[in-house]
Amino acid sequence: MEVSMKERQRQWFIFVENRQAVIEALTRGECDGLLPAARSFLDGFAGFLLNHGIMAVFEAFPEQRARQSIPVVFFCGSLLYRPLFQLPSLQAVGDVLFRSPYILRQMGFNAVQIGQGFYRTNGRKPFDEEAVAEFFAPADADTFLAHQEQVLHQLYQEFPWLFRQGVWAMDSVSFSTPKGNHGLPEGRYKVCILGVCYQDTVLPLLWLFAPEEAHDLPLGQRLVERVEAALGQGVIKNLLVDRALLDGAWLTLLWHHGTHVTVSLRENMDVLSDMLGLARLGETEWMEVPPPDNHRDPAPQREITGFTDLTSWEACQAPLCGCLIRDHYPDHTEYQGVVMTAEAGDAKTIYERHTQRWDHEELLMSLTRYWHFDRLPPCRVGVAYALVHFALLAFTLLNLYQGEGDHTAIRNQGPPPLPLPEREIAVYAGPYFTLLRPSELMEIIFTYWDVWADHRDAILDALKRFEGSP
C-alpha cells in the first residue's frame, strides 16, 4: 500500500495496552505522551460497536498467519476506522482515535497519528499499513463474504427493526487499483452490494467481490441465496434490482420464496411492447408525478399509468404488474417500463418502489465522493477487497450509530479540552499505553526524580493540557 509524502510524515500507529511496559519505561524517564480523558464522537462509536457485539465478530475474521502476535481485531478495527477520517464531518476529531479510558480498556488498543521519526520502536516494528497489507493479502472473495455473513447475523440479532423495513436493493459497482512497484499489476474489480433501504439511503448488508468482467446475475443470485440461508426465505420482502439482473426464472423462484421484485424492463422486451399497446386504449388514465432529476433542460413532464395481469414475459411465471412511465419533452416523448412480481399493484406503488432504487445509486455516489471508494492505492487483490469491505461496513455501522441518537454536536467538533468524569490519564511509551490516575503518575515521577529532573518543564507543559482553556 502506497501513501503520499504528507501521509508518510504523519501516519497512524496502533498502541497496545500494556501497563507493566509503560511503568517500566516511566522508571527510566521515558514517556512519549500524556493525554487527558475526554469522550469524543469516535469513543461513542467504539462503544456502539462493543455494545452490539461487532468487535467480537471482528475477532472471528479468518486468518492464515503462522504467527499471531497481533490480535485480529487490530487489523479489522484499523480498516474500519480508516475511511472515517476522510469524511468532512469527522475531520476535526484530531490525531487520537480514542480518548475515553472506558473505551480504551474495552478495546485494548489505540491509534495515534504522529510525526515521522517520533516513534520510539526500540527494535519493534510498528503496526502500520505494511502489517495490515500482509494480513489481508491472502484473503479472497469468499473470505470476505463469510465474514460479512457473520456480521449480517449479528446485525439481524441486534437490529431486528431494520430487517422489518422489508425493502432491499441490489446493484454492482466497479473499482480499480493502479500499478505499483516491483511489477504489481493494476487491478480491476467489481462488488455486488445487497442492502436494505433506510432513511433515504441503502445500508449495505452483504456483498460479493469478483473480477470486473464477472456477470452481475450469478453474483446477485448467490447473495440472495446466502441471505435466505442465513435469515430464512421471505426475509427479503421487496427487492429492487437493475436490468442487469433481469431473469424470469429467478424472479419466479423469488416469488415462490415470498420476495416481490421490482425491476426496469429492457426496450426490446415483449412485456414493454404490451404495456405500450395497452396504453393506447382510450380508457387509459395517466397520473402526473414530479419530474425526474435527470439534469436535462427543460425537465420533462412525467406521467405514469399501471397494468395488472401481464402475461407476455414467458420466462417469468410469477404474477406481474407494470408501471409505464411517460416523459414529455418539447420535441419528443420517451417511455420506460417497470414491473413488479405481485398479484396486485397500482402504478403509484410500483413507481415509488422504482424510485427507491435510486437510493442505491446515491449510496454508490456517496462512497465515491466522500468515502473515496475509487481512490485505492496500488495493492494486492486481498488488500483491495479489504479496503472496500471495511468501507462498506463502516458506512452501515456509522449510519446505524447515528440513528440511535443525535450526535451532530460532537461529530462536528474536536474533543473537549477538559476531561469528563473519567479521571485517568492515558500514558504512552513506545508501542504501548496504559491508564494511570494523576497521583499514580506523579508518584512514579517523584520516586524516580533523578531521571525526570531534566524533563521538569516538559512535564508541566503536558499537565497544563489537562487544565483546558482558561
Res 117: pLDDT: 39
For the chain, percent of residues with pLDDT exceeding 70: 78
CATH code of the domain containing 281: 3.90.350.10
Instruction: Verify that 231 and 343 share a domain, yes or no.
Output: yes
User: Considering the domain boundaries, does residue 63 fall inside one?
Assistant: yes
Name the helix (H) or strand (E) containing 137.
none
User: Considering the domain boundaries, does residue 388 fall inside one?
Assistant: no
Instruction: Verify that 193 and 145 share a domain, yes or no.
Output: yes
Instruction: Verify that 261 and 179 share a domain, yes or no.
Output: yes
User: Considering the domain boundaries, does residue 147 fall inside one?
Assistant: yes
User: Considering the domain boundaries, does residue 59 fall inside one?
Assistant: yes
Question: Grid coordinates in use for 169?
Answer: 436493493
Residue 202 CA to residue 195 CA, distance in Å, equals 6
User: Considering the domain boundaries, does residue 222 fall inside one?
Assistant: yes
Mean pLDDT of 224-233: 95
Domain that holds residue 148: 141-379
User: Which one of 33-47, 278-292, 393-407 scores highest in mean pLDDT?
Assistant: 278-292
Reply yes or no on whether the pLDDT at 417 is more than 50: no
Per DSSP (E only), the strands in 10-166 are: 10-17, 33-36, 109-115
Q: 210 with 222: CB under 8 angstroms?
A: no
How would you label 269-293 residue by residue, b for 16+ Cβ within 10 Å and e otherwise?
A: bebbebbeeeeeeeeeeeeebeeee
Instruction: Verify that 32 and 76 share a domain, yes or no.
Output: yes
User: Considering the domain boundaries, does residue 392 fall inside one?
Assistant: no
Instruction: Verify that 299 and 189 share a domain, yes or no.
Output: yes
Instruction: Verify that 101 and 149 share a domain, yes or no.
Output: no
Instruction: Verify that 188 and 250 share a domain, yes or no.
Output: yes
Instruction: Verify that 234 and 350 share a domain, yes or no.
Output: yes
User: Considering the domain boundaries, does residue 275 fall inside one?
Assistant: yes
pLDDT bin (cut points 50, 70, 90) of residue 466 is: low
Q: Residue 425's beta-bridge partner residues?
A: 36, 436
Instruction: Verify that 125 and 30 share a domain, yes or no.
Output: yes
Instruction: Verify that 284 and 298 share a domain, yes or no.
Output: yes
Instruction: Verify that 81 and 171 share a domain, yes or no.
Output: no
Res 288: pLDDT: 95
Instruction: Verify that 133 and 145 share a domain, yes or no.
Output: no
User: Considering the domain boundaries, does residue 401 fall inside one?
Assistant: no
Q: 62 with 143: CB under 8 angstroms?
A: yes
pLDDT tens-digit map of 142-165: 999 999 999 999 999 999 999 987
Number of domains observed in the structure of the chain? 2
Per DSSP (E only), the strands in 122-274 are: 167-177, 187-198, 201-211, 238-241, 260-264
Res 418: pLDDT: 38
